[in-house]
Amino acid sequence: MDASLRRRRARRPLLPLTAAICAAALAGGCAGAATPGSRMSNPDTTTQAAAMRRAGNDLQTAYETAIRNVLPSVVQIQAGDNLGSGVAYDGQGHIVTNAHVVGKQRAFSVTVANSERLLRARLVSSFPQQDLAVIKLDKVPAGLKAAKFGDTSAVAVGQIVLAMGSPLGLSGSVTQGIVSAVGRTVSEASSGGGTGATIANMVQTSAAINPGNSGGALVNLNSEVIGIPT
């Protein structure tokens, strides 16, 4: 090959990489090509990731909203040697709890969520057959609001729930789980503070329940109390 031919070949411009790719894919309608070091993004993947982030944020907000709405309605109850929880039922100071929490006591010390001051309460009625009782505060403190009670018949397996109460004496505690089953029949022991009752149509949950949670609130993400843990 003579020198002039080599010079002519050396002067031929090189086809840019992107142009070469487009030319090769022209029949397929190439609209653009990646340059070295760039990353192609999949619009579907990006949209799905954004949707997942929004869903996660929405769920987080639902948790926080339910806790903010219901926790001020949950109280701690001291009944002799028994320690349990309760839920404000109305603005007159009526509190729903478990019959085994009140036991044979007629007077109680109550601590609300926004104060450590002990409040006096008295028994209104106890119904051991369903392990339920109602007590009433002598004086309703500021900040105590009635909880919203939901329809237990609408509870579904797999539904997210929160348990609020005073497990092990730790007032204002919240655990989370799902509804594990509905329509359970459970027999309570008559010893160790239980009523000995056989209770039907109970909601089973995976949310952690410990001594002290009894009488508290099982809450859905609509801020409704759907059960009283026992």
Q: Which pTM value belongs to this model?
A: 0.76
Which amino acid belongs to residue 143? G
Residue 175 β-bridge partners: 163
The architecture in CATH of the region 67-227 reads Beta Barrel (2.40)
Q: Which residues does 76 contact at the CB level (< 8 Å), separation at least 6?
A: 83, 84, 85, 86, 110, 111, 165, 166, 169, 171, 212
Which 8-state DSSP code applies to residue 106? S
Contact 222, 144 (CB under 8 A): no
Per residue of the chain (230 residues), give pLDDT as tens: 444 444 444 444 444 444 333 333 334 444 444 445 555 567 777 888 877 788 778 999 999 999 999 999 999 999 999 999 999 999 999 999 999 999 999 999 999 988 889 999 999 999 999 999 999 999 999 888 999 999 988 999 999 999 999 999 999 999 999 999 999 999 988 776 778 899 999 999 999 999 999 999 999 999 999 999 99
Query: What residues are labeled active site?
Result: 100, 131, 214
Residue 85 β-bridge partners: 76
Domain assignments of the chain as residue spans, ordered by start: 67-227
